Structure 1
Amino acid sequence: MSHENKVGVTYANLGWDTAADLYLPPGFDETRQYPAIVSTHPIGSCKEQTSGNIYARALAEAGFIALAFDASFQGASGGSPRFIEDPAIRVSDIRFAIDYLVSLPYVDAQRIGAIGVCGGGAYTVHAGITDHRIKALTSITGVNFGRLMREAFSEFDPVAALDAMAAQRTAEAQGAERNVINYLPASVAEGRENGLTDIDVLEATDYYKTPRGQQANGATSGLFSFNSAAMGWDAFLQAEVLLTQPLMIVIGDKPGGFGAYRDGWELYGRAASKEKQIVVAEGWSHYDLYDRPEPVDFALSRVIPFFREHLQA
């Protein structure tokens, strides 16, 4: 797709504006009505990375309108303090993205889909559980951020982590400087030097900290004192009852510490969706599904027909 088919837009969120890129299909005709898909980026990422330049772009080329947005408090979107990663607000962002899409005369409000990558995949699932304007949804190597916070991101001691977050938030409320942490080492070499061996951590660093995927707004940062909001959150809460839309889950079969492989199978078991599929990219990892041509093409070979069927495209 040429760059002319991507339009930068802004729209109102809670008390600030969201920045987004609207990807339009070839031969776009504003007098028609199109199916549209919201694409949600990973944790610490931005709309210019995998959610936009890979998945939204490909879906637009396939005939959909696709909207990739920056999360509130992150990227080019508004909201303060910066770098909050609050699952409830991240899910709310998806609802506001749908609000924007259905306000457009060339979008068919009855043919809205949603896709997300990594943490964005699980946020998409949670949005689908309670926002049934979403008629079909896809999780690409989705990670349940609540589980990840309770486990690896808190070094498997969530109560101690909550105590540290509480102390830090009190300090900040009393005037201390904000503690913005980086989820990743500065380089793969630094990670290895510090004893890191997990495939997800090292491949995330290779993606986010090198020209392969690096973007100015892909900060891989989080406001430590506000991360407590994720500790009690489950991306798949009530999926057994309320997640009834057609669902596709895409995972790689090389599991890593972020847990997308296990989360994918858990969601597949829990979802009430009568039409649900789990697609395993054999021989590929979590971060391969961000941008590596072969696994991405494999995923899209399943995802595009899925959305065409269920959004009547």
Structure 2
Amino acid sequence: MPKAVKFSNKYWAVAADLYHPAGFDAKKQYPAILCAHPISSCKEQTAAIYAEQLAALGYVVLAFDASHQGASGGEPRYLEDPATRVEDFRCAVDYLVTLDYVDEARIGVLGICGGGGYAVSAAMTERRIKAVGTVVAANYGRIMREGDLSPDAALKTLEAIGKQRTAEARGAEPAIVNYIPASVAEREKAGITDIDIVEAVEYYTTPRGQQPGSPNQLRFSGLQAALGFDAFHLAEHLLTQPLQIVVGNKPGAFGSLRDGYELFHRARSERKNLFVVEGASHYDLYDKPGYVEQAMAKLGPFYKENL
């Protein structure tokens, strides 16, 4: 079982689970990996699955809830702020380097879905991160800008956010919206058939992946920064760490397949690899054993070589 710990980001506490390898000896030093959950997720979901497997390979692993979400502190709640999400990684490294049994020269990161995009962004300026792994990494800013796929999707969303912020400044209640339909029935009623949305609803709103720390709630008025965020900005210049990208070959609305190819081509890293899991969708790589095993078959040797 992981150990529940906390570390600070600004003036609030970030909640995390710390995983130790079998036979752990606090007098020794171990390589460590940060494990970042997807957008709308929490540390107990797919991040926990990968954290457990990495710990079994001999790593100290820190899986944490994003600030303003899950069991972490930070007000207002349900905020998805890219700058704060990236700062969480830096603060997580600050925590790891205080542990005598962590080798500060061997710290890596693994990010899943939106957590993968944030991991890439953080690694560009957090040089204590020595190796970057992603699973179905998605560029959250791109997803937000595309919206309904119309040329002015981002502009329409920003106009709506501006109106909501004005209303809240004048005393209105915050608008808390859902990331995805709240149930299979709601998704079917809306006529949504895209594979990523279908499987997101199946994962997050059923016993398959449902967790209290992932309530499918988002503060709408806080989304302005996300519309202007590019997780891969400056990758051509600043992303030099070894990089292992894992994606599935079934494309969906979240675009992690094309984001994987874009990241691979943009990254300055001399050592980089893109592994496409045949027959896998975005959410298959969250928790389906056969697909997770294929991802780990790449990630395990990658971290061993580079940490």
TM-score band, normalised by shorter chain: over 0.9
Q: Partner of 1:214 in structure 2?
A: 210
Contact 2:118–2:231 under 8 Å retained in 1: yes
Task: Give a deviation string over 1:202-250, Cα, whole Å, max 9, x none.
Answer: 1000000000000001122211000111111110011001100000010
- Secondary structure of the equivalent of 2:130? strand
Counterpart for residue 268 of structure 1: 264
Q: Show the counterpart of 2:72.
A: 77
SS in 2 for 1:299: helix
Q: Distance in 2 between matches of 1:66 and 1:134?
A: 13
Distance in 2 (CA, whole Å) between partners of 1:236 and 1:68 is 22
Aligned residues: 306
2:109 to 114, 129, 137: 114
Q: Per the alignment, do residues 155 and 189 of structure 1 end up closer, same or farther by CA in structure 2, a change over 3 Å counting? A: farther
Q: How high is the TM-score relative to the length of structure 2?
A: 0.98
Secondary structure of 2:118 counterpart? helix
Distance 1:66 1:290, change over 3 A: same
Q: Distance in 1 between matches of 2:98 and 2:149?
A: 41
Q: 1:20 and 1:154 mapped to 2: Cα distance?
A: 36
Over residues 26-53 of structure 1, what are the superposed CA-to-partner deviations in whole Å (9 max), with x where a residue is unaligned?
000000010000000111110101112x
Q: Distance in 2 between matches of 1:126 and 1:40?
A: 12
Retained in 2: the 8 A contact 1:136–1:245?
Answer: yes
The alpha carbon displacement at 1:152 in A equals 2.7
**What's 1:137 paired with?**
132
The residue aligned with 2:46 is 50
Cα shift at 1:155: 6.2
CA RMSD between the two structures: 1.0
Query: What amino acid does structure 2 have at the position aligned with 1:291?
Result: D
**3-state DSSP of counterpart to 1:84:** coil
Counterparts of 2:5 and 2:107, CA distance in 1: 18
Matched, 1:282 2:278: yes
What is the aligned partner in structure 1 of residue 144 from structure 2? 149
5+ residue gaps, structure 1, are: none
Runs of 4 or more, structure 1, over 3 Å off, are: 153-156
Deviation at 1:93, TM superposition (A): 0.4
CA distance in 1, matches of 2:179, 2:91: 27
Match of 1:41 among 37, 40, 45: 37
Kindly, what percent of the aligned residue pairs are identical?
55
* 2:57 corresponding residue in structure 1: 62
Within-5 A mapping of 1:79-228? 79-152=74-147, 157-228=153-224
Separation (CA, whole Å) in 2 of partners of 1:224 and 1:137: 30
Instruction: Give the aligned partner of residue 229 of structure 1.
Output: 225
Alpha-carbon distance between aligned partners in 1 of 2:283 and 2:77, rounded to the nearest angstrom = 25
Q: Letter of the aligned partner of 1:137 in structure 2? A: V
Q: 2:22 aligns with which of 12, 19, 26?
A: 26
Per-residue deviation, 1:170: 1.7
Residue 170 of structure 2 aligns to which amino acid in structure 1? Q
